[in-house]
């Protein structure tokens, strides 16, 4: 299982604490592999971009109009977190549905 997130994100830390045998990938330091990002965008669509983040508020209208995958590649902290990959299936966020699915 791989968790893509930020080391200083409270939600990511909660998920890491609860999950066992998880590999953590810091999206700010390491980024998200392009194939994982593309797959996540196919599954979650626009919900993958966190439009309530500080990073989003700092973007101008031209940057916000950038295609989502390009925007996430240049600003990985815009991705909603955590993005969890387990056995080829992707989960976004740390809501009750994700917590139950991952046990």
Catalytic machinery residues: 9
Alpha helix ranges (H) inside the chain: 10-18, 34-44, 54-57, 61-64, 68-74, 96-102
Q: Within a 13 Å sphere around the CA of 6, how many CA atoms are in the beta-carbon half?
A: 12
Q: What is the dihedral of CA 56, 26, 71, 88, to 10 degrees?
A: -120
């Amino acid at each position: 299982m791989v968790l893509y997130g930020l080391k200083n994100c409270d939600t990511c830390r909660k998920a890491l604490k609860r999950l066992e045998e998880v590999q953590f990938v810091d999206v700010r330091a390491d980024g998200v592999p392009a194939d994982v990002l593309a797959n996540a965008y196919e599954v979650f669509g626009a919900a993958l971009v966190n439009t309530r983040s500080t990073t989003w508020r700092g973007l101008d209208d031209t940057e916000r109009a950038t295609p989502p995958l390009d925007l996430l590649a240049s600003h990985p902290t815009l991705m909603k977190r955590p993005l969890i990959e387990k056995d080829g299936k992707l989960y976004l966020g740390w809501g009750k549905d994700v917590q139950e699915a991952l046990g």
